[in-house]
Amino acid sequence: MKIIKAYEKLNQLAGVEFGKLFRAEQLENIRVNKGKTGQLLELALGLPLSSRSLDFEDGELKTNKCDRMGNSTETIFITQISSFIDDMLSFRPFEETPLYEKTKSMLYVPVCKEGEPEQWKFFPCIFIDIRDPRYRRLAAVWKKDYEIICRKIKKDIEDQGRGIHTVSGQHLQVRCKDWKDKKGEYHPIYSSRYRRVVADKNHAFYFQKKFVSDIKRFCTGDWL
């Protein structure tokens, strides 16, 4: 499915309570399973659940918990860094990274999760394509954030020997995101560049909550 088709379909569902969109069994454990909201959104669009690298033929789907006023209440996961840590440490251009692939074309969907799950609802979505000249300033912010984060991570690794810490730009942030495997162990990050483990746990890129408030202002011409 193309993003533009999903954009049109989702905005038709905006404001409709989940109880009218999904069956009771589909909403079970949705408070505990944070990924289930995204899965229900894909089902609402008629997309098959899969492990594809991109949600749409031409981009990504990002959901975010918000309050009844549409204000973000949490950060947004983008992608883990272990697979391209050496690209980051060698300052590979933003446009050549998996981070860029995950963010260049996105459909952002805020989800109001106040009340019972049956009362939750999708809010109108926002389509962002940073390859479009209209989003040039937004792309510049993410590129600068990426470069700031790469420099800080490299400095921390070289100065402190072992360890990647939370580091933030204006919209982007890298912080720990990991889980224990069946052996009760985390997933350390190994760098071929340094030939050693550079973090005891995996880390990931996130959009900070400020990203949401800024893109809403950007779409109304009231940002930057």
Residue 53 placed within a domain: yes
DSSP conformation class of 51: -
Write the Ramachandran bin of 59: left for phi over 0, alpha for psi from -120 to 50, otherwise beta.
left
Q: How many domains are there within the chain?
A: 1
pTM (predicted TM-score): 0.89
Residue 147 placed within a domain: yes
Q: What is the pLDDT of residue 52?
A: 59
Domain that includes residue 162, residue range: 3-180+187-219
Specify the amino acid at residue 171: H
Do residues 201 and 193 make contact, with C-beta atoms less than 8 angstroms apart? no
Q: What is the pLDDT of residue 58?
A: 86
DSSP conformation class of 24: G
Task: Output the tens digit of pLDDT for each of the chain's 224 residues.
Answer: 889 898 998 899 999 999 999 999 999 888 888 778 888 888 888 876 655 556 788 888 888 899 988 888 999 999 999 999 999 999 999 999 999 999 999 999 999 999 999 999 999 999 999 999 989 999 999 999 999 999 999 999 988 666 788 999 999 999 999 988 888 999 999 999 999 999 999 999 999 999 988 888 877 665 55
| CATH code, 153 | 3.40.600.10
Residue 87 placed within a domain: yes
Q: What is the pLDDT of residue 221?
A: 61
Q: What is the pLDDT of residue 161?
A: 65
Q: What is the pLDDT of residue 224?
A: 52
Q: Is 212 helix (H, G, I), strand (E, B) or coil?
A: helix
Residue 22 placed within a domain: yes
The angle subtended at Cα 140 by Cα 100 and Cα 159, nearest 5°, is: 75
Write the Ramachandran bin of 195: left for phi over 0, alpha for psi from -120 to 50, otherwise beta.
left
Q: What is the pLDDT of residue 50?
A: 59
Do residues 14 and 124 make contact, with C-beta atoms less than 8 angstroms apart? yes
Residue 104 placed within a domain: yes
Q: What is the pLDDT of residue 37?
A: 86
Rg (CA), the chain: 18
Q: What is the pLDDT of residue 113?
A: 92
Torsion sign across C-alpha atoms 195, 201, 205, 209: negative
Residue 224 placed within a domain: no
Do residues 98 and 84 make contact, with C-beta atoms less than 8 angstroms apart? yes
